[in-house]
Amino acid sequence: MTDLWRLSAADLAARIASKQVSAREAATSALARLDAVNPSINAVIDHRPDDVLRQADRIDAAVAKGDRVGPLAGVPVTVKVNVDQAGFATTNGLQLQKDAIAQANNPVVENLVKAGAVILGRTNTPAVSYRWFTNNLIHGHTKNPRDPGITPGGSSGGAGSATAAGIGHIGHGTDIAGSVRYPAYACGIHGLRPTVGRIPAFNTHLPERSIGPQMTAVSGPLARTIGDIRLALQAMSARDMRDPWWVPVPLEGPPLPKRVALCVNPDGLDPVPEVVAALRDAAARLERAGWTVEEIKDAPPMQEAALLQTRLWLGDGYEAQLALAEKEGDPGALACLRGNRLKVHPFDLSQTLTRRATLTRDWLLFLEKHPLLLMPVSGELPFADQLDRKDEESFNRVWHAQLTQIAIPFFGLPGLTVSTGMVGRSPVGVQLVAQRFREDLCLAAGEAIEAGGTPPSPIDPVS
- Model confidence over 173-209: pLDDT tens digits? 999 999 999 999 999 999 999 999 999 999 998 899 9
Annotated domain spans of the chain:
7-450
Find the catalytic residue in 29, 80, 143, 156. 80
| C-alpha dist (Å) from residue 441 to 261, 445, 446 | 13, 6, 8
Per-residue pLDDT, 315: 95
Find the catalytic residue in 22, 29, 129, 155. 155
Give the global pTM.
0.98
Give the CATH architecture of domain 7-450.
Answer: Alpha-Beta Complex (3.90)
pLDDT tens per residue across span 296-310: 999 999 999 999 999
- 155 among known catalytic residues: yes
The rounded distance, in Å, linking the Cα atoms of 294 and 260 is 6
DSSP single-letter state for residue 311: I
Half-sphere exposure for 146 (CA within 13 Å, toward CB)? 32
| C-alpha dist (Å) from residue 379 to 155, 203, 271, 273, 420 | 18, 33, 4, 9, 15
pLDDT tens per residue across span 337-386: 999 999 998 999 999 999 999 999 999 999 999 999 999 999 999 999 99
Find the catalytic residue in 129, 156, 179, 237. 179
Residue of 266, 311, 262, 270 whose CA lies nearest to 410:
311
Question: Is 18 in a helix, a strand, or coil?
Answer: coil
Mean local confidence (pLDDT), 441-460: 98
pLDDT tens per residue across span 239-298: 999 999 999 999 999 999 999 999 999 999 999 999 999 999 999 999 999 999 999 999
- 80 among known catalytic residues: yes
Per-residue pLDDT, 463: 87
Query: Going along 47-133, which residue ranges are E strands?
Result: 76-80, 118-123
Per-residue pLDDT, 292: 98
Per-residue pLDDT, 1: 52
Write the DSSP string, 377-421: S-SSSSPBTTGGGT-HHHHHHHHHHTHHHHHHHHTT--EEEEEEE
